[in-house]
Structure 1
Amino acid sequence: MTLTKNHVADEVQQALGVSRKRSMELVEILLEIVKSSLESDNDVLVSGFGKFCVREKKPRRGRNPATGTDMLLDGRKVVTFKCSAVLRDRINSGKVESPGS
């Protein structure tokens, strides 16, 4: 199952005992902070979870799959994520904890 923004808001609502509207506001605020930080080329580090980084990709040669012709693809920025050792160990242990544990 994919975790959606609505699922996260539901978990926040249950964990904090706030209204559904307030929990969605909190999730939106958090995501806006992360997005604006990444837009400014700043990394986002969440201890015990991982680090989001903005990386520059250089222009590269590619191929149009429909026609097979060579083309030059522009450089771009991409967001990468590296999980923390704590999260990696937790994922590999198979141990499932409920939020707030």
Structure 2
Amino acid sequence: MNKAELIEAISDESNLSKADAKRALDAFISVTGKALKKDDKVALVGFGTFSVSQRAARKGRNPQTGKEINIEAKNVVKFKAGSELSAHVK
């Protein structure tokens, strides 16, 4: 499912116009991104938790040349699914 399909599904499920559903989804993405940038967690009970984790620097290999390279440390977004979401997937 891509973003356009998700907007259409939200619109159908919630009886919102597609424009309103798009604004709601864009607002969710924006607010979540801002919270994660401040190193906050975003927890949606039953759905899951978004958090930021530090990935340590490490050595890697260029697959084309085989030459060893240094990969810098960085922050990555993690998602842990909640119980209701996990139950829907089973």
Structure 1 residues 53 and 66: alpha-carbon distance in aligned structure 2, compared to 1, 3 A threshold: same
- Within the alignment, does 1:57 sit opposite 2:58 as a pair? no
Query: Post-superposition, which runs of at least 4 consecutive aligned residues in structure 1 deviate over 6 A?
Result: none
Partner of 1:79: 77
Partner of 1:96: none
Would you say how many aligned residue pairs link Structure 1 and Structure 2?
A: 90
Quote the Cα distance in structure 1 between the aligned partners of 2:23 and 2:30: 10
Partner of 1:48: 46
Quote the Cα distance in structure 2 between the aligned partners of 1:61 and 1:23: 43
The Cα shift of 1:41 comes to 1.4
The CA deviation string for residues 45-92 of structure 1, in whole angstroms up to 9 with x for no partner, is: 111011111100111011111111112110011111111123223311
* CA RMSD between the two structures: 1.5
TM-score, normalised to structure 2, is: 0.86
